A = this chain, B = another copy of it.
Amino acid sequence: MSALDTAGSVTIVGLGPGSEAMITPEVSAALAQASDLIGYIPYVARVAPREGLRLHASDNRAELDRAHHALKLAAEGAKVVVVSSGDPGVFAMASAVFEALEGAPEFLGLDITVLPGITAMLAAAARVGAPLGHDFCAINLSDNLKPWDLIERRLRLAAEADFAMALYNPRSLRRPQQFARALEVLRDGCGSERLITFARAVTKPDEKIETVPLSEARAEMADMSTVVLVGNSATRRVGSYVYTPRSAR
């Protein structure tokens, strides 16, 4: 019997930003039917343990190993669910699984499904109003997998295009200076009055969200649990909300 004759499967799911009320029913159903759960430690910890569910929690930065492990277990017949925070297709595990698949063509016939989730930028945007209500972009500020020069270049082009922006993984202990540099690039490209929102731990008990003009933004306002939203040139406040109009000139 070849690996692909089994009834195993890999389902890559998004748990949303934190609140259980944002987990879609299809993701809950996949979790209920799983035999094996794979993911980064804090994401696996978000799923209630139950009899018959094997947990495989691994450290961060082990994405490819984790993805390969998922494919291998599925080939042995397991119903594997790979968990990501937010949406699995946005700076998360879905790409890692397909990268692992590319390197291990013996798994090509496996049943692989991606189930979307509420990604951090859209949960954060909803909390403050509608700052991404016009054309926007999403940029991962981590230079683990791309050179910093490319990140700066994209920030500059995004400012030139007048995109609203969502910035993921803005800051880590390992690279404290880079986000300060990103803020400089943004001030240069967008001006000091542009609104920027720091949304930390969205929908979690320790959620903290604040919006300031770029002139008042400091690197210390972000950490790795923060998604940062930058408005476009028309983004403004109305009452306690921040929104970007649907129209542009």
Residues of A within 8 A of B (CB): 16, 19-26, 29, 63, 87-92, 94-99, 101-102, 108-109, 112, 114-119, 122-123, 125-127, 129-140, 145-147, 150, 153-154, 157-158, 160-163, 238-239, 241, 243-249
Determine how close the nearest CB of chain B comes to the CB of A249; give it in whole angstroms: 7
Which residue on chain B has the smallest CB distance to residue A124? B116
State in angstroms the CA–CA spacing of A19 and B115 once bound together. 12
Determine how close the nearest CB of chain B comes to the CB of A132; give it in whole angstroms: 5
**Chain B residues with CB below 8 A from A112, complex form:** 241
A126 contacts B116, C-beta separation under 8 Å: yes
Do most interface residues of chain A lie in helix, strand or loop, or is the interface mixed?
mixed
A116 contacts B118, C-beta separation under 8 Å: yes
| Contacts A/B (CB < 8 Å), 13 sampled | A20-B25, A88-B126, A89-B132, A94-B126, A94-B243, A96-B246, A97-B130, A98-B130, A99-B243, A99-B245, A101-B241, A135-B139, A161-B161
Which 3 residue pairs across A and B have the least CB separation, nearest first? A95-B133, A137-B137, A98-B243
State in angstroms the CA–CA spacing of A160 and B136 once bound together. 15
- Residue among B91, B109, B125 making CB contact with A133, cutoff 8 Å: B91
